[in-house]
Amino acid sequence: MAHHALVVGASGIVGSATARLLVEQGWQVTGLARKPGTAENVTPLAADLLDPASLASAVEGLKPTHVFLTTWARQATEAENIRVNAAMVRNLLDALRPAGSVKHVALVTGLKHYLGPFEAYGKGVLPQTPFREEQGRLDVENFYYAQEDEVFAAAKRDGFTWSVHRPHTVTGVAVGNAMNMATTLAVYASICKETSRPFRFPGSAVQWNSLTDMTDARQLAKQLHWAATTPAAANQAFNIVNGDVFRWKWMWQRIAEWFDLEAAPFDGEPAPLEEQMASDAAAWLELVAKHDLAEADITRLISPWHTDADLGRPIEVVTDMSKSRKLGFVDYQATDDAFFAVFEQLRAAKLIP
């Protein structure tokens, strides 16, 4: 039976990387998004996951064998995150049910499974690091849990297998993405270089000094493909990171070197990017005009709130990958090279000078 993937959130960092890999693997790929972009050999499908009637109409006649859920909608509170994001998953799986074609559903969540939602990020009683999949849910409301429960219920009812994938901070390229550390840092570094501002680490002393890890979108895409095609991986949750660990005191210097910058000394105090970049729209417009860049709206490139949340954490965050390794997923990606690959793509697309 031929594989037909429906990649939900195909215009995002994870979705676009996943669609690209599946095309390379010979799959038929449909890319669903509210405003789908154009990607080679990916059939675009425009749909609103919060509008059941139009969604049902959009997917009518579509018979995907595999569904990859790589999107979410950020809301003002965790209660709203739960209501909206659970509905998005439920509505999609309900709309696909009549065709009876789905064999596997993969859901991408993240380490907030262990850390708690942004409202309670890194607070209270947390599991011991490195985080392992067998660690249970925290006793707090979390939209990741609600998304999982929708997938589990539909799988039980409709008879498909599932997998859940928990990346750390994801690096990749997608303009307009709500959580994009690599592009945020690239824009910040470009402005620092142009204006001779200090390239200051924005986060906490704990993050500066502790071991941590990250997830290249291409690495995540490989695990999604692996889990969807490996029977032993069915109905399981997996952490997914690059496979290396680093300290930000080292990585910050590596990023500075790529941009031919001097990294400012870290004084131990956070310097959040949301504050540092609050007035940078005008500086960015000057860079756009000077270097003929492709995106004048800085808000479509940066997400300083998210970068601050990750780099400002007062706890060590590091992830165990043993579970999928034991089952045969052995891909690896050096994280500094993952950052550099993003920077090179941004420069090639004239998104940074």
Looking at the annotation, which residues are catalytic? 112, 144
Q: Give the separation between CA 318 and CA 131, rounded to whole angstroms.
A: 7
Q: Give the separation between CA 182 and CA 192, rounded to whole angstroms.
A: 15
CB 45 within 8 A of CB 95: no
Lookup result for tokens 């400002």? 312
What sign does the dihedral 221-223-226-230 (CA atoms) show? negative
Strand pairing class (104-108; 246-247): unpaired
Tokens of 185: 């840092």
Q: How far apart are the first and last CA of the chain?
A: 46
Burial class (CB in 10 A: 0-12, 13-18, 19+), 197: middle
From residue 91, give the alpha-carbon distance in Å to each of 59, 157, 243, 349.
11, 15, 35, 35
